[in-house]
């Protein structure tokens, strides 16, 4: 895809419409086997198709219904076509594979990890985790619809994104089926298997269908978070525009503590951090991951360098919520961020490390500086337009700045230079713009 930070990820030659994932999970040792059927069109003339495949052992490939040759070199699966094909031609590829779940460092690596109590698996797939266990065009610019049929041993539950379509007996277990019809970036795939209960949460006060996932021996721990989630859905919809998907839910996973990931339509947390208590940390994490459904999931980064458009917005939304419930003032949060970031970490729009505080609190401080520069009304109108104009798609930092200039009528060159491009953030926020 030509991503500066992750040049190995994605192929611009294809535009995937749909992934049909049929997976079997086996414990002891944790292992996946299955097929992924990928349909789409060629986005450019080519004589081969490439997928990201950094871990799975591919056993066979079918191209348009016929057994096909393939080469698996390093982290790429290459499938030669039967000759050059023109842009716009459709393709269907079915890939059979096996994946050992190695685990690794949960806070450094992306991918699938064994359950904390060794019951099933959970995953953090951002930015490139899916390609460690399944062949995929692993870049947010190629969003697609997904279906998941996941077969697990009896007694376990398999959870994926979208609507739960039911479970049915299968050979040696039970198959759980989920369907994600709205376009989704691969890094937002949920991979959650274990002793879970799927809880119908009804409909939120703003009309969003709610489906939650909780460990079956800790079902009471979910309750304190349901009212907060309902209030947050209303609070953010009022500020950012309508919630961008058909459904939402909380999944409290059997993971290490500290897990929080905005998997699409179903935010993922550690059951160890959400044990029934409701304080600053739970308010913060619930607000942050919910806000990502607008910023990151509905509108995804066109390049990984644009990560501040995800994390800066989610952090800013978290500050708005903490201010709203009286746990921390937004001004104090922004000022604390500038103090904490005085050692640098690279420009906000090109941080040294992808998931560094510059992307999170640095991006949020840049947004607060922007709000003070253009005024409250233009800022919120610009934020709503940003989501509405790019829902189910991607955006770049340049597009964001241009959009904000158009809506506010304010020249943002100075703001951009100081808050997005400088190696060090300013040490203080600009004064509030006086209305009028």
Footprint on this chain of Zn ion (rule: CB under 5 A): 311, 314
Residue nearest to Zn ion (CB): 314
Task: Find the shortest distance in angstroms from Cβ 272 to Zn ion.
Answer: 19
Please identify, using beta-carbon distances, which residue of 150 and 307 lies nearer to Zn ion.
307
Q: What is the DSSP letter of 136?
A: B
Minimal distance, residue 25 CB to Zn ion, in Å: 27
129 burial level (CB within 10 Å; 0-12, 13-18, 19+): buried
Task: State how beta strands 144-152 and 173-184 pair.
Answer: antiparallel
Nearer to Zn ion, 292 or 371 (CB): 292
State the DSSP code for 279: S
**Minimal distance in Å, beta carbon 258 to Zn ion?**
13
d(CA 209, CA 201): 7
Minimum distance from CB of 220 to Zn ion (Å)?
27
Which of 311/357 has CB closer to Zn ion? Answer: 311
Residue placing its CB nearer to Zn ion in the complex, 15 or 311: 311
Nearer to Zn ion among residue 311 and residue 416 (C-beta): 311
List of E strands, 185-222: 192-194, 196-203, 209-215
260 within 8 A of 210, measured Cβ to Cβ: no
Closest CA to 267 of 111, 183, 161: 161
Residue whose CB is less far from Zn ion, 314 or 348: 314
Give least dist CB 304 to Zn ion, A.
Answer: 14
Helix (H, G, I), strand (E, B) or coil at 337: helix
Residue closer to Zn ion, measured from CB, 61 or 260? 260
Query: Least CB distance from residue 263 to Zn ion, whole Å?
Result: 11
- CB atoms closer than 10 angstroms to residue 356: 17
Contacts of 187 (CB under 8 A, 6+ apart): 110, 125, 126, 127, 128, 129, 130, 138, 140
Between 93 and 259, name the residue whose CB sits nearer to Zn ion: 259
Shortest Å distance, C-beta 298 to Zn ion: 14
**Would you give the DSSP letter of residue 75?**
T
Cis peptide upstream of residue 29 (ω within 30 degrees of 0): yes
State the nearest-atom distance from the C-beta of 311 to Zn ion, in Å.
5
Q: Which residue carries 């982290």 as its tokens?
A: 75
């Amino acid at each position: 895809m030509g991503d500066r930070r992750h040049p190995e990820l994605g192929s611009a030659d294809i535009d995937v419409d749909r992934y049909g994932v049929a997976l079997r999970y086996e414990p002891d040792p944790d292992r996946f086997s299955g097929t992924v059927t990928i349909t789409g069109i060629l986005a450019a003339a080519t004589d081969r198709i490439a997928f990201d495949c950094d871990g799975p052992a591919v056993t066979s490939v079918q191209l348009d219904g016929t057994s096909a040759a393939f080469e698996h070199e390093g982290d790429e699966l290459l499938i030669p076509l039967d000759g050059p094909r023109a842009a716009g031609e459709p393709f269907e590829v079915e890939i059979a594979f096996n994946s050992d779940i190695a685990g690794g460092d949960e806070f450094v690596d992306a991918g699938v990890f064994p359950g904390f109590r060794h019951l099933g698996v959970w995953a953090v797939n951002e930015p490139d985790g899916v390609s460690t266990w399944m062949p995929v065009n692993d870049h947010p610019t190629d969003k697609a619809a997904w279906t998941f049929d996941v077969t697990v041993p009896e007694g376990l539950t398999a959870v994926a994104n979208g609507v739960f379509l039911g479970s049915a007996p299968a050979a040696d277990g039970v198959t759980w089926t989920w369907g994600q019809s709205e376009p989704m970036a691969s890094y937002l795939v949920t991979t959650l298997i274990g002793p879970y209960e799927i809880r119908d949460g009804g409909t939120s006060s703003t009309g969003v269908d709610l489906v939650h996932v909780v460990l079956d021996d800790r079902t009471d721990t979910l309750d304190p978070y349901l009212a907060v989630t309902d209030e947050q859905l209303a609070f953010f919809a009022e500020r950012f525009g309508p919630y961008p998907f058909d459904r939402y839910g909380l999944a409290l996973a059997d993971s290490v503590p500290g897990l929080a990931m905005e998997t699409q339509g179903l935010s993922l947390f550690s059951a160890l951090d959400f044990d029934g208590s409701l304080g600053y940390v739970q308010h913060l994490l619930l607000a942050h991951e919910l806000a990502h459904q607008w910023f990151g999931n509905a509108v995804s980064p066109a390049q990984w360098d644009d990560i501040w458009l995800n994390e800066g917005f989610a952090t800013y939304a978290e500050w708005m919520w903490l201010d709203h419930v009286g746990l921390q003032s937004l001004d104090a949060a922004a000022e604390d961020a500038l103090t904490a970031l005085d050692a640098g970490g690279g420009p906000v729009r090109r941080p040294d490390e992808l998931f560094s505080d510059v992307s999170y609190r640095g991006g949020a401080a840049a947004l607060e500086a922007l709000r003070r520069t253009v005024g409250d009304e233009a800022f919120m109108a610009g934020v709503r337009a940003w989501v509405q104009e790019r829902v189910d798609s991607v955006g770049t930092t340049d597009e964001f700045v241009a959009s904000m200039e158009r809506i506010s009528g304010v020249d943002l060159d100075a703001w951009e230079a100081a808050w997005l491009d400088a190696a060090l953030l300013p040490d203080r926020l600009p004064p509030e713009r006086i209305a009028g």
